[in-house]
Amino acid sequence: MAYSDKVLDHYENPRNVGTFDKDDPDIGTGMVGAPACGDVMKLQIKVSEQGIIEDAKFKTYGCGSAIASSSLVTEWLKGKTLTQALEIKNTEIAEELALPPVKVHCSVLAEDAIKAAIVDYRSKRVPAGESRDANPEPRAATL
């Protein structure tokens, strides 16, 4: 598999690898994919009181392009509002990393991870009295 230099760079030097406390109310965690499919991405965002993503971290089990896709989105997420973050499309990720068609699903997974992390963050922010069921089911693994 011939990868682009950008994929190789993210793979060799992944940005923002790590873990936040998933129980922290400022943290949103998204875990997508499945081991049986060969890729699992865990993406975490740290959101400020103003609703800005201050920091992002990831851990990924998967091929080189899955690692690169998640590493790239942690860079893109920083400084964005949640609304801006939700506008990140898998096609932009695939284009930036020049993913071959067979690896496009890795970028889809990264987009899903962003959405799942935001859903998780928002579910923690539901004002008292409102039902949590109002939130859509996160597309994340449940323990």
Partner 1 sequence: MTEKYPIYLDYAATTPVDPRVVEKMLPCLTEHFGNPASRSHALGWTAEAAVETARAQVAALVNCDPREIVWTSGATESDNLAIKGAARFYRGKGKHLITVKTEHKAVLDSMRELEREGFEVTYLGPEPDGLLDAAKFTQAIRPDTILASVMHVNNEIGVIQNIAALGAICRSRGVLLHVDAAQSTGKTPIDLATLPVDLMSFSAHKSYGPKGIGALYVRRKPRVRLDPQIHGGGHERGMRSGTLPTHQIVGMGEAFRLAREEMTTDNARIRRLRDRLLHGLLGIEEVYVNGDLERRVPHNLNISFNFVEGESLMMAIKDLAVSSGSACTSASLEPSYVLRALGRSDELAHSSIRFSLGRFTTEAEIDHAIKIIEAAVQRLRALSPLWDMHRDGIDLNSVRWAAHG
Q: How far is the CB of 45 from partner 1 (least distance, A)?
A: 15
Nearer to partner 1, 52 or 64 (CB): 64
Q: Would you tell me which residues interact with partner 1 (CB under 8 A)?
A: 1, 3, 11, 14, 17, 19, 31-42, 59-64, 66-67, 102, 105, 108-109, 112, 116, 139-143
Give min distance, CB of 61 to partner 1, in A.
4
Q: Name which of 42 and 80 has its Cβ closer to partner 1.
A: 42
Residue placing its CB nearer to partner 1 in the complex, 128 or 143:
143
Q: Are strands 27-34 and 39-47 parallel, antiparallel or unpaired?
A: antiparallel
> What are φ and ψ of residue 53, in 5° steps?
-75, 110
CB neighbours (10 Å) of residue 9? 16
Burial (CB < 10 A; 0-12, 13-18, 19+), residue 20, is: middle
Q: How far is the CB of 38 from partner 1 (least distance, A)?
A: 4
Is the Cβ of residue 46 or residue 105 nearer to partner 1 in the bound state?
105
- Alpha-helical regions (H) of 35-103: 64-77, 82-86, 90-97
For the annotated catalytic residues, the residue numbers are 37, 106
User: Three-class SS of residue 119?
Assistant: helix
- Min dist CB 105 to partner 1, Å, is 7
Say how far apart CA 51 and CA 37 lie, in whole Å. Answer: 34
